[in-house]
């Protein structure tokens, strides 16, 4: 008889939940341990907060003339980053993380135009030299940041790991991004909800998801109020300023990583983001800056 098991844990700086049906507690614990081990491994490799991570080593070698060797997984992430860059008119740029130095939390003043202009030359995916074997950031101070990709990718990897362990019914959530392992044993989807960007304890949409993933991007908790204006954490690599136009975007797609990138690109496109989403025929929920909700979820969600 299948029993439902719930695990809550913290990874990648976010609260995470894993819920699935398994035959025994022993099996469930084994699956949970495998999932946590894999996510921890991804975090160790790609977290920019860890000095010993691969990302920190790549960033530390920027401008020194020393290339950093990479493995197949990192190469695939770089290829994926390249694809996002091309599909977003160069708005989705994994080198734009340096801007966070100016828009860190807790500041009370806007950065100066001079500060921003001083940083912009260090941004630009097209400057990065990378191959299947290694990567090199040619300018001192350049940074690579897979922050907008790895958490969603980890959800996909975790779901597929569960499937490999014989779990066919379950759901994993990593900091608000959701990937379905398989529908509930009765064949129905799992209930998922999208939080209100302004009132994180409330939800703005609720539906059942049978397969695929749901990922969101927006100014949820990570923003600063400066002179009464709310500045989000999604930064335009061309202007150096936080984007404005959409408050939050949620996307349903087959893979969590794709849903997450589409949501981020829509945010980066600011006022053009909504129109862009509509041409893609994806299932999305978009919250405009004035609070208006545009919901296409009924279209693609069962």
**Dihedrals φ, ψ of 140, to 5°?**
-60, 135
Whole-number Å distance between alpha carbons of 11 and 36: 8
Task: Please select the residue that binds other proteins; options are 14, 64, 113, 164, rule is CB under 8 A.
Answer: 164
Verify binding: residue 87, other proteins, rule CB under 8 A.
yes
Minimum CB separation of residue 41 from other proteins in Å reads 11
The stretch among 121-129, 155-163, 192-200, 232-240 that binds other proteins (CB under 8 A) is 155-163
Whole-number Å distance between alpha carbons of 281 and 38: 33
Judged by beta carbon, residue 229 or residue 299, the one nearer other proteins is: 299
- Hey, which residues between 168 and 187 contact other proteins (CB under 8 A)? 168, 186-187
The stretch among 46-54, 97-105, 239-247, 277-285 that binds other proteins (CB under 8 A) is 277-285
Minimum CB separation of residue 113 from other proteins in Å reads 34
Report yes or no: 219 and 230 within 8 Å, Cβ to Cβ: yes
> In which element (H, E) is residue 29 found?
helix 25-46
Report yes or no: 197 and 218 within 8 Å, Cβ to Cβ: yes
Verify binding: residue 235, other proteins, rule CB under 8 A.
no
- Nearest Cα neighbor of 244 from 221, 223, 260 is 223
**Dihedrals φ, ψ of 94, to 5°?**
-70, 0
Report yes or no: 34 and 42 within 8 Å, Cβ to Cβ: no
Task: Please select the residue that binds other proteins; options are 43, 145, 156, 173, rule is CB under 8 A.
Answer: 156
The number of residues making up the chain comes to 302
Verify binding: residue 137, other proteins, rule CB under 8 A.
no
Alpha-helix residue ranges (DSSP H) falling in 165-237: none
Task: Please select the residue that binds other proteins; options are 235, 248, 249, 282, rule is CB under 8 A.
Answer: 282
Judged by beta carbon, residue 118 or residue 280, the one nearer other proteins is: 280
- Nearest Cα neighbor of 152 from 253, 59, 56 is 253
Verify binding: residue 155, other proteins, rule CB under 8 A.
no
Angle subtended by helix axes 256-268 and 147-164, to nearest 10? 160
**Burial code of 69-93, b = ≥16 C-beta within 10 A, e = fewer?**
ebeeebbebbebbeebbeebeebbb
Whole-number Å distance between alpha carbons of 140 and 155: 33
Judged by beta carbon, residue 117 or residue 298, the one nearer other proteins is: 298
Verify binding: residue 22, other proteins, rule CB under 8 A.
yes
Judged by beta carbon, residue 186 or residue 290, the one nearer other proteins is: 186
Minimum CB separation of residue 112 from other proteins in Å reads 36
Judged by beta carbon, residue 62 or residue 266, the one nearer other proteins is: 266
Verify binding: residue 89, other proteins, rule CB under 8 A.
no
Collapsing DSSP to helix, strand or coil, 24 comes out as coil
Minimum CB separation of residue 291 from other proteins in Å reads 26
Verify binding: residue 300, other proteins, rule CB under 8 A.
yes
Write out the residues near other proteins by the rule CB under 8 A: 2, 21-23, 72-73, 76-77, 79-80, 82-84, 87, 153, 156-157, 160-161, 163-164, 166, 168, 186-187, 211-212, 253-255, 257-258, 261-262, 279-282, 298-300
């Amino acid at each position: 008889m299948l029993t439902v098991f719930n695990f809550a844990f913290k990874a990648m700086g976010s609260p995470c939940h894993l819920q699935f049906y398994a035959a025994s507690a022993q099996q469930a614990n084994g699956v949970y341990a495998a999932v946590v081990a894999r996510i921890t491994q991804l975090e160790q490799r790609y977290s920019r907060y860890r000095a010993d991570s691969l990302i920190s080593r790549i960033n530390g070698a920027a401008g020194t003339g020393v290339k950093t060797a990479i493995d197949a997984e990192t190469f695939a992430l770089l290829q994926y980053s390249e694809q996002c860059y091309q599909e977003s008119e160069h708005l989705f740029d994994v080198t734009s993380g340096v801007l966070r130095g100016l828009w860190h939390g807790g500041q009370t003043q806007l950065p100066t135009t001079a500060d921003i202009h001083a940083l912009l030359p260090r941004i630009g995916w097209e400057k990065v030299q990378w191959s299947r074997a290694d990567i090199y950031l040619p300018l001192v101070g350049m940074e690579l940041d897979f922050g907008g990709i790895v958490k969603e990718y980890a959800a996909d990897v975790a779901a597929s790991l569960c499937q490999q362990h014989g779990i066919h019914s379950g759901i994993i959530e990593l900091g608000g991004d959701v990937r379905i392992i398989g529908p509930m044993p009765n064949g129905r989807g799992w209930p998922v909800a999208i939080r209100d960007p302004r009132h994180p304890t409330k939800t703005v949409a609720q539906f059942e998801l049978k397969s695929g993933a749901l990922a969101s991007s927006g100014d949820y908790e990570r923003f600063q109020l400066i002179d009464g204006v709310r500045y989000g954490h999604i930064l335009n690599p061309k202007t150096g300023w936080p984007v404005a136009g959409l408050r939050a975007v949620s996307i349903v797609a087959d893979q969590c990583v794709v849903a997450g990138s589409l949501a981020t690109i829509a945010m980066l496109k600011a006022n053009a983001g909504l129109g862009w989403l509509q041409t893609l025929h994806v299932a999305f929920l978009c919250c405009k800056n004035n609070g208006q909700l545009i919901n296409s979820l009924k279209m693609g969600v069962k």
